[in-house]
Structure 1
């Protein structure tokens, strides 16, 4: 099973944007981006194992291993300049993938790190070990999942195992010394995100020797849903590609 979903193939595109979802997320989270992003960009969204059309695939339980698998899956798609966008857990994975790609001589041109603390400044909150109701409450509180859907026992039974796996994966993640990133990073954060402050988001500048920018948009942890157009505009501006007409 392939690791990336491309809602709209663009053989003419000058650049590829790889999007990595949050904990409990899937490739469908980025499906609407293809319609709004520049024709010069082809969007590929990661589909982690154990969910959606990969429900039968075994979970990956280690963030560094997941980053290696993602980087390997990207290798055949690196025939043009590449940027990475990751939200929450996906931002940390994007950073680790970028380090691996840089080591292999195919560094991305930019990393967009959305809605999370820097890799070397992780929080102490533990959600993975809580009971089902508490895990659901955390997801609903973040604003990324429909609360009504999670009240459906059958759906909850399908969703909770991979949500719990993702929380454990990112909560067990530890930054390791090694390749220092030279890739420019843009950190983007909602101004009322309960899990990351502007100051914490700014610490992303400490993990790269490349340029760093911080963008603050209105909203909570999932600010990028109502602010999708603003996020995509920031990507266009940063990557210097023409906006969609």
Structure 2
């Protein structure tokens, strides 16, 4: 299967096709997020980079499909969906929960003989830096789950004012939080691909020290970039992030 024949995949969204792109960038959403979160980000890249976005099951046009409630399950499901798009140099970008999926996906791709140009991990501590949460969010009642999501400012508050929308998004939110909170890093091979951490300086979910620990998970080199903002710094800083990501990708393909 080639990229052309893979375009009907329910997993991959191609918002801004770039037939002559030198490289592709696969973007993985945060917990409760959907492919459309990355639409403005995808449009921030020039013609040399084609941004693809993943749509997890259980939301938007995939809302009738069962959610996948584990990080490894998402990575397992994505491998065969992604390989057809690796017919040119390929990098991965994941935000928050998506950073963990990006890491596990990259490990699986490397096992298949395909090493990404780079793995960009945004708004997430390293896999080996576990934070024990006394009250896991995915076990809270609906009100507690909504309060947590609202505190991070990553979801349009109007969603929580519409009962029909709320019924649609809560199952995916709960499933994703379960995936993120039950994930445990299993020591094993380090990535051959370089890892680049992207962090908001006011992010309550990851300290700069926790982000620097991503260096322990790669033999390909590590760099970290910081930006003004909190957990969803990417919303305000997407142009700056796209410029940094573009530069790091293109220096490897030019």
Secondary structure (helix, strand or coil) at the match of 2:215 reads helix
Residue equivalent to 2:241: 231
Residue equivalent to 1:65: 73
Q: Is the 8 A contact 2:71 2:183 kept in 1?
A: yes
Residue equivalent to 1:39: 47
Q: Distance in 2 between matches of 1:158 and 1:238?
A: 38
Q: Distance in 2 between matches of 1:215 and 1:93?
A: 20
Q: Is the 8 A contact 2:106 2:115 kept in 1?
A: yes
Q: Distance in 1 between matches of 2:70 and 2:234?
A: 26
Q: Distance in 1 between matches of 2:91 and 2:221?
A: 14
* Structure 1 residue 199 corresponds to structure 2 residue 209: yes
Structure 1: where are the runs of 5+ without partners? none
Q: Distance in 2 between matches of 1:139 and 1:19?
A: 21
Equivalenced residues, count? 241
Residue equivalent to 2:11: 3
2:118 aligns with one of 110, 123, 137: 110
Q: Distance in 1 between matches of 2:90 and 2:171?
A: 32
Secondary structure (helix, strand or coil) at the match of 2:199 reads strand
Structure 2: where are the runs of 5+ without partners? 1-8
Q: Distance in 2 between matches of 1:230 and 1:11?
A: 24
TM-score, normalised with respect to structure 2? 0.92
Q: Distance in 1 between matches of 2:196 and 2:247?
A: 11
TM-score, normalised with respect to structure 1? 0.95
* Higher share in helix: 2
Q: Distance in 2 between matches of 1:31 and 1:58?
A: 24
Secondary structure (helix, strand or coil) at the match of 1:85 reads strand
2:168 aligns with one of 150, 153, 158: 158
Q: Is the 8 A contact 2:205 2:231 kept in 1?
A: yes
1:211 CA drift (Å): 1.0
1:84 CA drift (Å): 0.2
Q: Is the 8 A contact 1:103 1:179 kept in 2?
A: no
Residue equivalent to 2:190: 180
RMSD of equivalent CA atoms = 1.1
Secondary structure (helix, strand or coil) at the match of 1:214 reads strand
Q: Is the 8 A contact 2:120 2:197 kept in 1?
A: yes
* Structure 1 residue 88 corresponds to structure 2 residue 79: no
Runs of 4+ in 1 over 4 A off after TM superposition: none
Residue equivalent to 2:20: 12
Q: Is the 8 A contact 1:187 1:213 kept in 2?
A: yes
1:240 CA drift (Å): 2.4
